[in-house]
Amino acid sequence: MGKLEVSGTRIANNALVTPNNLTALSGYVQQDDLFILGLTVREHLCFQAMVRMHCGLSKEEKWERVEEVLDELELRDVQHTLISSATNEVEGISGGEKKRLSFACEVLTSPSLLFCDEPTSGLDSHMASSVIDVMVKFAEQGRTVLTTIHQPSSLIFSKMDQLMLMSEGRTIYLGPASNALLFFNKCGFECPSKYNPADFFIDALAINPADPERSRKKVEKIANKFKESRVGIDLENEIENDLKYLALSEETVSRSPYKASWATQFIALCWRNATNVRRGGWIVLVRVLTNMLTALSFGSLYMGIDSSTLSGAVSINGGLFLLVAVLAFSNIFLTINVFNPEIKIFFREHFSGMYRVDTFYLAKGIIDLPISLVSNIAFLMVFYGLLGLSWAKFPAVLVIVICTVISVSSFGFMIASIVATIFYVLGL
């Protein structure tokens, strides 16, 4: 199978648009709703405001905007409700509320251009209609809303202003949604009465596996008809004029995708991680108790050994090796398991211009380090006491253990990031 080659030029306001510029000027509501577990709706919006809104705004102005968005997206009633729970012991918000929360995150900065990727997927007809109403409200406020949508109902289709149909990589129609049926009538394809126009367009443009050649000829006929129409000719001329203007102009819009400063990103990430850890405090207790029981199990093997003898010294030496090995491997795998569930959220938020890579890793490491140290020191104290070694040497051993935990945790982050990057590149 040959590789897909994509080419073209993105132009906005007669200027070449780069990925960073587009991120800074627009919002993107993705199809999948990904959130950090353990945060409430308000806490999630507050974090988004800290990293998305311009650093020149005061904290009061950001919180005021959060209040406006809560009312605008009708999330006031669930503002203190957890988005979701890792243990399912607390009921989170509904699917429609999650979708509205995704919209709320994107409109915090009042972008003039909003992209929506199948915003109604997975929602029932009532929830889907409410989401579309939100998009219509944004459009009425002067924003441009572009969306791809999967089999919209007739009610949803009736709320669309402009419609673009594509098939086999060609533009089939571009113009007012209300005129699309008239265009298809001129092409010899009439929509039955009381029939959903969206379903009619899908049936007309779909490639039938039983007769693909006939389907492709039909699509080509409609595409050529649009290309030869007045709208199609005007569209081609407009594109050519934009490309000529771009070739003559040396002006290129250049903007940083990050709106918050490095310090603001770091503080916001630390606050989010700490809030998430605080809500899962029982997990920390479980880790400490598990480490103490593990130390008791391993340490009981070395109880009563006389370290003054050669065989005893060899056994104690093996115990110290076991101490380092358990701390190393347990912390590596624990770090990988903790980091991997958040990797999709990290990629989405990082490429949306919310924070840098270094701020994410530093904040993650700093918040997780105290918990890791407490559980591992608990392991050390139990295991060290069962070995029967001198407590006078304990501070030196403690320093070695702390350095070991920091080193192996960093190594675990490295392994997790490499594996996650490979999976991301391969699209797994």
Task: Name the pairing type of β-strands 15-16 and 11-12.
Answer: antiparallel
Cα(322)–Cα(371) distance, integer angstroms = 22
**pLDDT score for 46:** 93
26 near 258, Cβ under 8 Å?
no
Q: Is the pLDDT of residue 4 over 80?
A: no
Encode 128-149: b = buried (16+ Cβ within 10 Å), e = exposed. Answer: bbbbbebbeebbeeebebebeb
Q: Amino acid letter at 64?
A: E
**pLDDT score for 31:** 80
**pLDDT score for 247:** 60
Q: Amino acid letter at 354?
A: M
Sign of the dihedral defined by the CA atoms of residues 400, 401, 405, 406, in that order: negative
Residue 207 neighbours by CB distance under 10 Å:
14
Domain boundaries defined on the chain: 11-160+229-248, 262-426
Q: Is the pLDDT of residue 75 over 70?
A: yes
The reply to whether CATH 3.40.50.10420 applies to domain 11-160+229-248 is no
Q: Which residues pair with 164 in a beta bridge?
A: 174
**Each residue's pLDDT tens digit, 370-409:** 888 888 888 888 888 888 778 888 888 889 888 888 888 8
Cα(25)–Cα(145) distance, integer angstroms = 13
Q: Could you report how far apart the first and last alpha carbons of the chain are, in Å? A: 18
Percent pLDDT > 90 in the chain is 7
Q: Is the pLDDT of residue 1 over 50?
A: no
- From residue 328, give the alpha-carbon distance in Å to each of 81, 331, 366, 399, 403: 38, 6, 18, 15, 11
| Mean pLDDT (whole number) for 71-89 | 77
Q: Tell me, what DSSP letter sits at residue 272?
A: H
Cα(154)–Cα(162) distance, integer angstroms = 15
When the pLDDT of each residue in the chain is averaged and rounded to a whole number, the result is 82
The residue among 315, 312, 299, 417 whose CA lies nearest residue 358 is: 417
The residue among 111, 169, 117, 120 whose CA lies nearest residue 142 is: 111
pTM of the model: 0.78
Q: Amino acid letter at 333?
A: F
**Each residue's pLDDT tens digit, 249-307:** 555 555 667 888 899 999 999 999 888 888 776 777 888 888 888 888 888 887 777 76
**Each residue's pLDDT tens digit, 180-196:** 899 888 888 888 888 88
**Each residue's pLDDT tens digit, 225-237:** 888 888 888 888 8
Cα(379)–Cα(299) distance, integer angstroms = 10
